[in-house]
Amino acid sequence: MEIIEKIKTNKSIDNQTEIQKICLDKLQSSPLPNPRSEQWRLSNKSKLSNFLEYSVNENNENNSKFEIPYPKNTQSTIRLIIGENCQIKLIEKNYSIQKLSEGELQKYIKEQMSFFNQNENWSDLLNLFLSCKNNILGLKINGSKIPPIEIFSHASSNSLNAKTLIIFLEKNCNVELLQVNLGEDNSSLSQSTFFCLEENSSLNHGVVSYGVNKSNLLNSLNVIQQKNSEYNLGSLHFKFNYARFEIRIKQSEGNAKTNIKGMQITKKDEQISTYTKIDFDGPNGFLDQINKSLADDKSHAIFEGSIIVPKIAQKTDASQLSRNLLLSNRAQIDTKPQLEIIADDVKCKHGATISQLNEEELFYMRTRGITLTEASKLQLSSYFQEIISFIPVSKDRWDLLDKILNEN
Amino acid sequence: MQSKMKESDPILEVKNLSASTDNLPILKGVSLTVYPGEIHAIMGRNGCGKSTLSKIIAGHPSYNITNGDIKFLGKNINSLEPEERSQSGIFLGFQYPIEIPGVSNLEFLRVSTNARRKFLNKEELDTFDFEELVKEKLEIVKMDQAFLSRSVNQGFSGGEKKRNEILQMALLEPKIAILDETDSGLDIDALRIVASGIKRISNAQTGIILITHYQRLLDEIKPNYVHVMSDGQIIKTGESDLALELEKKGYEWTDNFIKET
Amino acid sequence: MGVSFVKVYKANCNKLFLDNMVNENLVKDVVKEPYKYGFVTDIETEKIEKGLNEDIIKLISQKKEEPRFLLDFRLKAFKRWQKMKEPDWAALGYKKIDYQDIIYYSAPKQKEKISSLDEVDPKLLETFDKLGIPLTEQKKLTNVAVDAVFDSVSIATTFREELAEHGVIFCSISEAVKNHADLIEKYLGTVVPASDNYFAALNSAVFSDGSFVYIPKGVTCPMDLSSYFRINSGDSGQFERTLIIAEESSSVSYLEGCTAPMFDTNTLHAAVVELIALDDASIKYSTVQNWYAGNEEGIGGIFNFVTKRGKCLGKRSKISWSQVETGSAITWKYPSCLLLGEESVGEFYSVALTNNLQQADTGTKMIHIGPKTKSTIVSKGISAGNSKNSYRGLVKMGTKATGSRNYSQCDSMLIGDQASANTFPYIKSQQPDSEIEHEASTCRISEDQLFYLQSRGIEFEEAVSMMVSGFCRDVFNQLPMEFAAEADKLLALKLEGSVG
């Protein structure tokens, strides 16, 4: 509560929008996330309050322009940076990308907020309260043969930054989109993303979040899938002191496809967690999800996933797998894949494993002269590869595997 | 012939070796010496310790040596890491080669071959040169190039896995090869391919230890010595006709042996 | 309910064969199958007044002529309980329990001291006869020693002398308090401390009776031991307490059965079971729980809130829980193992079947503390009607649990589209040199399988029951023989109601 007060005073109250007022109201009436609520049970309390310690950075113009790290932009990619002037209006022969009007944005956000559960969407409430007009990017995309899109959110040092992204994919539209969240030293980034996939649309979505030692991230992703849409998500989170990735997907009419491959790597005393909730609100839904964690040193990796299959969601086919590697005896892994099922004609399964690198595989490689370090790297790279190759746009340009394997 | 071989130094000397896993003794004083050019066969029932012996020589971390020595080219290797043993020329062909999903067979073979080449002060091979080499060696085991692009052993049939083992042996050119039941689960054609692969690789400078249940591999590759193991010990050693006798009389016959020194 | 299920089922199934197979009348007959054990024994009972306060606890303790340490144990637990909040985290919905509206001690009136079974009220013996648990010398079950508990007290224990010859102590816990106070004082509350949870605290304060088992060093108990719990009074709660101690290198198999009459009020059952296994000892604890589940509208039935936990204290000790849960309006139960001793083993095999408006939230906790400990979890949940069936489990590898392993398998079967099946596994590891593997799946009885069986001339009902029984096979295989057959029958009976 105190912290919310602090943010409130930190932020000018005069020009609050209607949405910000609603959010503040809800934030004040709901308690801060605490261990008693299931969604925040394992979240490190002091790390979370540390997240809120920084003062809110609303005015991007005061900062020097954000330099996007390697790789350089190429002609064929559309690159947008939230918070810097994203005046985009592309109307080509096959497609169009346009900013949502102020009215459309307000309407959509309000509608979304009516579905919010205060405990579950706390990150979104905080985000929408903090993010100012400049930091909200809303797009509607239409058409096909659209060049890959890269969208950056970044948090500058010694400040709390909130960025919001809202995208409508109109009917029959296919998009590849890579979202990159970057944290500088001593920074907090609140990123909320809302996607609406209309009928027959498909989105290959990549999320790559990486920080430096003392950066924090609350990354919330909300996806609504209309029928016959396909949503593919490949994600990677690493190098955050504290990061929380929340994924909420609703197949609003069923008959949609969702594929998720996520990965989180924790070292030192970092805590990174992934929460997913998949609602099937209609029949014939499909989900294939795998989440991998790797925890080393004194770190803590968490995965909690739930699959909710109500009566209406007959013929749902859902599978969720949580695979975890625990590499140090001071590290910790928690995982909790959950099924809540009412419909009877469904195929649902989940699984979880926690282990270290496979000793027999290591031995086999070592008997062929490959050193333990190399053999471990080979095993790790195959462990990562499955996820990384699923992240669109990035795979040819970002050298994610090298970044992970060679950084310490 | 025999005496001429013994003029050189042994490749491998196992002296009074005892070992255990989880405090359970598996080997109880095994001695075995292999000179250049020799082929030894080790036979015995399941669980007699013959696979364990091969894993211990290769340096499997699950076993503890409680007594005795393993000397390779005159040096004690008891405390060497598995990769150091491999690089210096010890090869273990596994009975059940493990599948390693996600690790490409070609990449695995290349890293492994280069590790051995580095040890031998030979130039390491780049991808292009290595592919040339591997194509040549594929001939030996009559394997298709398609195997290279798959993950290590993943989805391989029993015969394909064994041929992949012989391919690795051909690439690594070891001083000593220990082949653990390389013949099991092979049909007659695959057995011939594997046997001819082994013959291609063996020469007057190398040693081979064949671990087997059956005579049929020994029909293809004639051993100089046959050892019978039981309960963690070598209870009888003879020449190649011992294997034939064993085939005829069965392992009950050996139950009566007192350990020969 | 049953009929509506058939409609739904028909909608789902291939009409071609199903319409011919299901005979509505047969279905109705089956639905009407009453709860077989729902009768009330008309017997004069001694009850104390309703309500819970220190005086009531003192009164219970006084009635049972307990030593001071036990009264202190109870009062301390009561103080704890008053400060605790009733848990609300499990996915259960139920009417608030008024703890002042419960009778905490109820016992059939009998002579002061009974020296043999002949002095037991014939009505009581008749009751247990009717339940299929004859107690008299002539009729008693061979090879199983039984401790029969009626409401708050144990009324008889069979085969005592035979067991005594082997040094095995098997008696009611009240008797053990008198005759083996040292063992009770040493072990009671050491596995489930009074402060463990709300219902364990309540039990610690007011427990009335239960069974006590002590297997001395090196003894393999010559026969299965069994307790049979019968709730008879409608307004009294049942709070039994069981304590089993297996000394070094001993082993025992213990069975537990339960039934209650049909009342339209809810009765609270809050038991505590504590098991202790020392070096190389093994305890197998099997339960067939068939408390009254309430009627089709969810009126009445037992609230079954029990705490069962075993401590593998010794090296290579083993505790194995197997359970078939078919009864109770609400079940809230997690038989658990604390694996302290090196190479100790914990097992949990469970079948939970819910129908109508039953709710079951059951599972286990496997806490790996010592090195090289192993645990196995096999849970089969079957949900029919409008019921709710949840698996909730915790597997934890502590920092010292090197070389430890867990394997869990949790399968759910859904019958009809109104029932829910949930799986909530909590998995935690702090030890890299350990392995945890969890698998869960959901299925229903497939039309193809049904059709196949039916095409071979097997009746619809039987086909369903065969498939459910096949689904549960892994668990049934763990039950002692006599129990396995009973469990199979019980499930078939319960299911006839749901499929019908």
pLDDT band at C97 (very low <50, low <70, confident <90, very high): confident
Residue in B59, B62, B112 nearest the CB of A368: B112
CB contact (8 A) between residue B58 and residue A367: yes
- How many angstroms away from the CA of C83 is the closest CA of chain A? 18
Q: What is the pLDDT of residue A382?
A: 86
Chain A CB contacts of C429 below 8 Å: 324, 326, 332-333, 354
| Residue from A296, A344, A356, A357 to probe the interface with C (highest C Cβ count within 10 Å) | A344
CB contact (8 A) between residue C436 and residue A350: no
Residues with Cβ < 8 Å from C166, sequence gap 6 or more? C216, C219, C221, C222
Residues with Cβ < 8 Å from A208, sequence gap 6 or more? A178, A179, A180, A181, A235, A236, A391, A394, A398, A400
pLDDT at C420 over 70: yes
Q: Length of chain B in residues, anyone?
A: 261
User: Any chain A CB within 8 A of the CB of B174?
Assistant: no
Nearest CA in chain B to A376: B103
Alpha carbons C168 and C251: distance in angstroms, whole number: 11
Residue in A311, A338, A349 nearest the CB of C417: A311
Q: What is the pLDDT of residue B133?
A: 92
Cβ C233 vs Cβ C197: under 8 Å: no
Residue in B83, B91, B151 nearest the CB of A371: B83
* Buried-exposed string C119-130: b where 16+ CB fall within 10 A, e elsewhere: ebbeebbebbee
Whole-number mean pLDDT of chain C? Answer: 80
Residues of A with CB under 8 A from a CB of C: 38, 311, 314, 324, 326-356
DSSP C190-209: SSS-TTS-HHHHHHHHH---
pLDDT at C308 over 60: yes
CB contact (8 A) between residue B115 and residue A379: no
Tokens of C403: 């070389």
Higher pLDDT, B125 or C481: B125
| Residue from B105, B107, B112 to probe the interface with A (highest A Cβ count within 10 Å) | B112
Nearest CA in chain A to B89: A369
State the angle between helix axes of B105-119 and B127-141 in degrees (0 to 180), rounded to the nearest 10.
100
CB contact (8 A) between residue A371 and residue B61: no
What's the CA dihedral at C108, C112, C114, C117 to 10 degrees?
-30
User: Any chain A CB within 8 A of the CB of B85?
Assistant: yes
CB contact (8 A) between residue A369 and residue B116: yes
CB contact (8 A) between residue A344 and residue C399: no
Q: What is the pLDDT of residue C6?
A: 28
Cβ A158 vs Cβ A35: under 8 Å: no
Chain A CB contacts of B116 below 8 Å: 369
Backbone angles phi, psi at C461, to 5 degrees: -60, -45
CB contact (8 A) between residue C418 and residue A356: no
pLDDT at C21 over 70: no
- pTM for this structure? 0.81
Q: Tell which B residues from 110 to 169 touch A, by Cβ distance under 8 Å.
A: 111-112, 115-116, 119, 151-152, 168
- How many angstroms away from the CA of A175 is the closest CA of chain B? 28
Residue in B81, B102, B119 nearest the CB of A366: B81
pLDDT band at C17 (very low <50, low <70, confident <90, very high): very low
Amino acid occupying residue A29:
S
CB contact (8 A) between residue B111 and residue A363: no
Question: ipTM score here?
Answer: 0.84
**Which chains border B (3 or more CB–CB pairs < 8 Å)?**
A
Question: Using alpha carbons only, what angle is made at residue B70 by residues B64 and B74, rounded to the nearest 5 degrees?
Answer: 150
Cβ C100 vs Cβ C52: under 8 Å: yes
User: How do residues C98-127 score in pLDDT, each as one tens digit?
Assistant: 888 888 887 776 655 555 666 667 777 777
pLDDT at B38 over 60: yes
Nearest CA in chain B to A384: B102
Whole-number mean pLDDT of chain B? Answer: 87
Least confident of C33-37, C444-448, C457-461: C33-37
Alpha carbons A197 and A228: distance in angstroms, whole number: 9
Q: In what helix (H) or strand (E) does residue C268 lie, and over which residues does it extend?
A: strand C266-269
Nearest CA in chain C to A357: C432
What is the residue-level pLDDT of chain A in tens, covering all 408 positions? 466 676 666 666 667 788 888 888 888 887 778 777 888 889 988 898 888 888 887 665 545 566 766 666 666 788 888 887 667 778 888 888 999 988 888 898 988 888 888 778 899 999 998 888 888 999 999 998 899 999 999 898 888 899 999 999 999 999 999 999 999 889 999 999 999 999 999 999 999 998 887 899 999 999 999 999 999 999 999 999 999 999 999 999 999 999 999 999 999 999 999 999 999 999 999 999 999 999 999 999 999 999 999 999 999 999 999 999 999 999 999 999 999 998 888 889 999 999 998 888 999 999 999 999 889 988 898 888 889 889 987 656 667 777 777 765
Alpha carbons C99 and C410: distance in angstroms, whole number: 35
Higher pLDDT, C266 or A249: A249
**Which chains border A (3 or more CB–CB pairs < 8 Å)?**
B, C
Q: What is the pLDDT of residue C493?
A: 67
Nearest CA in chain C to A305: C424
Alpha carbons C388 and C406: distance in angstroms, whole number: 27
Least confident of B12-21, C104-113, C274-283: C104-113
CB contact (8 A) between residue A355 and residue C435: yes
Q: What average pLDDT does this structure show over C128-144?
A: 66
- How many angstroms away from the CA of A368 is the closest CA of chain B? 5
User: Any chain A CB within 8 A of the CB of B63?
Assistant: no
pLDDT at C32 over 50: no
Q: What is the pLDDT of residue C167?
A: 92
| Residue from A297, A354, A355, A376 to probe the interface with C (highest C Cβ count within 10 Å) | A354
- How many angstroms away from the CA of A365 is the closest CA of chain B? 8
Alpha carbons A291 and C15: distance in angstroms, whole number: 41
State the angle between helix axes of B105-119 and B158-172 in degrees (0 to 180), rounded to the nearest 10.
30
Higher pLDDT, C32 or C268: C268
User: How do residues C210-253 score in pLDDT, each as one tens digit?
Assistant: 889 999 999 999 888 888 777 776 667 788 899 999 999 999 99
- How many angstroms away from the CA of A368 is the closest CA of chain C? 24
User: Any chain A CB within 8 A of the CB of B100?
Assistant: yes
Size of interface A-B (CB pairs under 8 A): 78
Tokens of A26: 């809800």
CB contact (8 A) between residue B103 and residue A386: no
Q: How many alpha carbons lie under 13 Å from residue C22 in its C-beta half-sphere?
A: 27
Cβ A249 vs Cβ A277: under 8 Å: yes
Alpha carbons B57 and B80: distance in angstroms, whole number: 10
- How many angstroms away from the CA of A378 is the closest CA of chain B? 7
Beta bridge partners of A351: A321, C439
Q: Is B133 exposed, middle or buried (0-12, 13-18, 19+ CB in 10 A)?
A: middle
Chain C CB contacts of A334 below 8 Å: 426-428
DSSP state at residue C236: B
Amino acid occupying residue A301:
A
Beta bridge partners of A315: none
Cβ C249 vs Cβ C280: under 8 Å: yes
Nearest CA in chain C to A304: C426
Chain center to CA of B74? 19
Q: Which residue has the tokens 């969720």?
A: A320
Residue in C399, C427, C441 nearest the CB of A336: C427
Cβ C211 vs Cβ C170: under 8 Å: yes
Least confident of A30-34, B146-150, C444-448: C444-448
